[in-house]
Amino acid sequence: MEISEKALEKRKALCDDWLRAVGVEFASEEAKSNYKRRVQRLLDAIDLKKPDRIPLMPLGSFMQTDLYDVSPAEAMYDYEKLIAVHEKYILEYEPDNYNSPAWATPGKVLDILGINFYKYPRGGGLRETSRYCTIRRTKARTLKL
């Protein structure tokens, strides 16, 4: 597949902006240096160049809360506790990229929407220590011979 010159230029501009962090105020020069090193690591991996090390990009609904003994129910209903745990994780493990704590689906939102294709702690009927799960609903078919 050929990639147009215009698309490559656009990508380069986006990557340059990401690396420069225009408009971002860093807490220190060390923080700025760490940011640039992490972004370059990710860009190198995306470009199939050998980065200085493999980028760490954790995904997980409850991985961070499990590390700090926060139950799935607490994570889904106590957003301040959820954010505090994620901040602690970021500071302790220093991942190269990070996703929102919203991966632990907000229980209050599920309750308000009346979601019935998930079971989850509290409003969804599961115990506090259970993770949410999708309910598979199928219709039985009768075969006529």
Residues of the chain with pLDDT under 50: 140-143, 145
Please indicate, yes or no, whether residues 64 and 50 belong to a single structural domain of this protein: no
Quote the pLDDT of residue 140: 46
Q: What is the pLDDT of residue 127?
A: 87
Residue 145 belongs to a domain: no
> Residues 39, 95: contact at Cβ < 8 Å?
no
- Does residue 38 fall inside a structural domain? yes
By residue range, what is the domain housing residue 85? 57-137
Domain count along the chain: 2
pLDDT, residue 1, reads: 76
Which pLDDT score is estimated for 67?
92
**Together in a domain, 51 and 77:** no
Do 116 and 63 lie in one domain? The reply is yes
The whole-number pLDDT of residue 81 equals: 94
Instruction: Flag whether 142 is in a domain.
Output: no
Do 71 and 127 fall into the same domain? Answer: yes
CA angle, 123 then 129 then 131, to 5° = 70
* Token code pair at residue 70: 């926060």
The predicted model scores a pTM of 0.74
Do 82 and 116 lie in a common domain? yes
84 and 63 within one domain: yes
